[in-house]
Structure 1
């Protein structure tokens, strides 16, 4: 059994809950789900332009954990774009 997850500071609020290819009903698409911490890591790194150490400090986690979260998020987004899947934003 692994360690329990450390609390992560998330300051991101999202208006929409899905991004999907235009013209295809959501019910016909595969979904890729982004967790709230993955959305926050993307926001801190690419929207605010923070280095990984600064982003990790803002989230209250280690730099290596920040890197793992960021890699997971980018893999999911890349897969969704290439495969034409919907991206579900889990903000809870």
Structure 2
């Protein structure tokens, strides 16, 4: 008898769980199912920029299991994008930890925004938003991501200063 699977820790539940190509009727699409634990693997590795070891620890699984989960998620997302399928996020063997909906816990794990690099200008309060085109800097406003701000000088989308 195989040992029971460990439930994966997930700390993010998206508000939008269905995606499809614009202008294509649903009946003409193949639906791909991405589980919440696969989405969490993508979020931790690709968005939060954690190592596989750090992400696996947060999800309460082994690094090889995390790697398989990440590979499965990336394959499904590639099929969704390349083949023009629809994508539904649902299911999986997981348990919610932390606040759940929204933008996750951030790199600090407790909403502190300190990340692996730490320091004063990591994600979180303080710091600056900078224009990648003209170099114009503006003070970061708490609660407003830099990518949502347009450069007052040239109109380009701002990025967070690292």
TM-score (norm 2): 0.54
Give the structure 2 partner of residue 66 of structure 1: 66
Q: Which fold has the larger relative contact order, with Cα–Cα distance below 8 Å and residues 6 or more apart in sequence?
A: 1
Structure (1/2) with the larger helix percentage: 1
Q: Name 1:48's counterpart in structure 2.
A: 48
Instruction: Answer yes or no: is the 8 Å Cα contact 2:20–2:87 preserved in 1.
Output: yes
Shift, 1:5, TM fit:
1.5
CA distance in 1, matches of 2:2, 2:15: 33
Structure 2 residue runs without a partner (length 5+): 93-162
CA distance in 1: counterparts of 2:7 and 2:91, whole angstroms: 15
Post-superposition offset of 1:26: 2.0
Deviates more, 1:60-69 or 1:1-10: 1-10
Where does residue 26 of structure 1 map in the other structure? Answer: 26
Q: Which has the larger radius of gyration?
A: 2
Cα 1:91–1:12, aligned 2, differ >3 Å: closer, same or farther?
farther
- Give the secondary structure class of the aligned counterpart of 2:88: strand
How many residues are matched? Answer: 92
* RMSD of aligned residue pairs (Cα, Å): 1.4
Which residue number corresponds to residue 9 of structure 2? 9
Is contact 2:10–2:36 with CA below 8 Å preserved after alignment?
yes
**59-68 or 6-15, which moves further after superposition?**
6-15
**Alpha-carbon deviation of 1:91?**
5.2
When the two structures are superposed, what TM-score results if normalisation uses the length of structure 1? Answer: 0.92
